[in-house]
Amino acid sequence: MGGPGAVFWMWAIAFIGAATAYVESTLAQIYKEEKDTEYRGGPAYYIEKGMGQKWFAVIFAVAALIAMLILMPGVQSNAIAGAVENAFGIETWITGLIIVVLLGAIIIGGVKSIANAAQIIVPFMALAYIIMAIIIIAMNISEVPSVFALIFSSAFGAQEIFGGIIGSAIAWGVKRGIYSNEAGQGTGAHPAAAAEVSHPAKQGIVQAASVYIDTLLICSATAFMILFTGMYNVQDEKAVEGTDSFIHVGEFNKGGLTGDEQMTFAKSIKEGAAYTQYAVESSLPGFGAPFVAIALFFFAFTTIMAYYYIAETNVAYLFRGSTEKVFIWIAKIAILVAAFYGTVRTSELAWAMGDVGLGLMVWINVLAILIIMKPAIVALKDYEKQKKEGKDPVFDPRKLGIKGADFWVDYNEERKNK
């Protein structure tokens, strides 16, 4: 799936993605609304208020609901089920039922303790995950130069063995980079709007930093564990799982390969979390597969919870009153069905559906922020100016000539009256 070169392009997209994340999250803050003591915002909100195009905002909201409730939850649940099956031998449909029960307890039963516990554990699991990667790198420290050489050479097709997959490396690096750090999707803009800050640029900067943390730390940790242990696959995905093969590179002469020989062994491993599990297991037998399965459960499960929150925000945008409540229930049932279905389908199908959902949101959102990015840039300049003056930056859209930021106008009026 793109080979080692995809790692380089994943890094590259992180730098572009950080700027995108800043713009969309700052816009979400500028044009957010307060509803029932909660802040709501996201692409649908800033498209309507920033562009003045309600129909375009509705298109994004509908696309987000399709992606969050149907197309993308299965990617996360499929990863959980595959990792748990590989580590503990539990059938995927059983894991699917467990996910549905836990998720249902949170979004239907209102058992917030499960969600709170998961969100508390995730940062510690992320830290443990990075430490695990450092340990594996340390155990293979002599391979550092060759691994980095492999990443860069295969990214640009410098080696004949990877020359044919340079396009694949770019495509997979970009797609997985965006999928991981969410930059450009608009999904990160929804929780960004819910944050309580004195200036929109503050949250935009935080979201931009999160792209670097996610891609350059967490995703790189995964990539390094796989590459340093040689558990990557550059052959056809239909190859027999678990078999070794090699690619022979040399000069073609008289019907055969001659000259300097280059053999690269590649294990055909089932696509998904198994790559990482085999990588850690090869260095720490008996520990790797269970550890990755548990870490992945918390990462992916909290992502599904975030998908529901995003879906609920877009339902709130599209509907009001009793109609909203009906569609909230439809959203709850839909995401539970999608999460279970993801556990019993192939990872190829799960990712294919996920990519469609990703594309739906990215194309609409990126087009929108290219058109209405100016308020985010103005907000950043205002933030930097106030910081240089030694102030705690406060946002006043009227002074900056930003229209449609009704929440901030009301917020500033309330502050003056206190």
Please tell me whether residue 407 adopts helix, strand or coil conformation.
Answer: helix
Residue 133: its pLDDT value, please?
Answer: 82
Does residue 303 surpass a pLDDT of 70?
A: yes
- The residue-averaged pLDDT of 132-156 equals 79
Q: Are 25 and 185 in contact (CB under 8 A)?
A: no
Q: How many CB atoms lie within 10 A of CB 401?
A: 9
**Cα separation of 418 and 406, whole Å?**
19
Does residue 149 surpass a pLDDT of 60?
A: yes
**Cα separation of 206 and 26, whole Å?**
10
* CATH (one of 1.20.1740.10, 3.40.50.360, 3.20.20.370, 2.60.40.1120) for 5-233+269-417: 1.20.1740.10
For CA atoms 237, 216, 44, 112, the dihedral sign is positive
- Pair type for strands 244-253 and 256-267: antiparallel
Residue 173: its pLDDT value, please?
Answer: 38
Q: What are 396's two structure tokens?
A: 């006043």
Domain extents in the chain: 5-233+269-417
- The residue-averaged pLDDT of 139-143 equals 81
pLDDT tens-digit map of 319-361: 877 788 899 999 999 999 999 999 998 888 888 898 899 889 9
Percent of the chain residues past pLDDT 70, beyond the cut? 79
pLDDT tens-digit map of 354-399: 889 988 998 999 999 999 999 999 999 999 999 999 888 899 999 9
Q: Are 118 and 362 in contact (CB under 8 A)?
A: no
- The residue-averaged pLDDT of 101-125 equals 77
Q: Which band of pLDDT confidence, cut at 50, 70 and 90, is reported for residue 110?
A: low
**Cα separation of 123 and 352, whole Å?**
29
- The residue-averaged pLDDT of 229-256 equals 47
Q: Taking Cα atoms as reference points, which of 201, 198, 194, 195 lies closest to residue 379?
A: 201
Residue 115: its pLDDT value, please?
Answer: 61
- The residue-averaged pLDDT of 207-221 equals 80
Q: Taking Cα atoms as reference points, which of 95, 133, 127, 170 lies closest to residue 341?
A: 95
Helices (H), 89-219: 92-107, 112-139, 144-155, 160-163, 166-181, 189-194, 200-212
Tell me the C-alpha to C-alpha distance, in Å, between residue 113 and each of 119, 298, 370, 408: 10, 14, 40, 32
Mean pLDDT of the chain: 79
* DSSP labels, 151-172: HHHHHTT-SHHHHTTHHHHHHH
| 324-360: burial string, b at 16+ Cβ within 10 Å, e else | eeebbeebbebbbebbbbbbebebeebbebbbebbbb
* DSSP labels, 298-346: HHHHHHHHHHHHHHHHHHHHH--HHHHHHHHHHHHHHHHHHHHHHHHS-
Residue 111: its pLDDT value, please?
Answer: 57
**Cα separation of 153 and 4, whole Å?**
9
- Torsion on CA atoms 383, 388, 394, 395, rounded to nearest 10: -30
pLDDT tens-digit map of 53-106: 899 999 999 999 999 999 999 999 998 998 898 888 899 999 999 999 999 988
Q: Which residues are CB-contacts of 160 (< 8 A; sequence separation ≥ 6)?
A: 249, 262
Q: Are 187 and 21 in contact (CB under 8 A)?
A: no
Q: Which residues are CB-contacts of 404 (< 8 A; sequence separation ≥ 6)?
A: 31, 49, 50
Residue 29: its pLDDT value, please?
Answer: 94
- The residue-averaged pLDDT of 2-24 equals 79
Does residue 157 surpass a pLDDT of 70?
A: no
Q: Which residues are CB-contacts of 183 (< 8 A; sequence separation ≥ 6)?
A: 13, 14, 16, 17, 18, 20, 21, 24, 211
**Cα separation of 74 and 86, whole Å?**
18
Q: Which band of pLDDT confidence, cut at 50, 70 and 90, is reported for residue 171?
A: very low
Residue 248: its pLDDT value, please?
Answer: 38
Q: Are 392 and 38 in contact (CB under 8 A)?
A: no
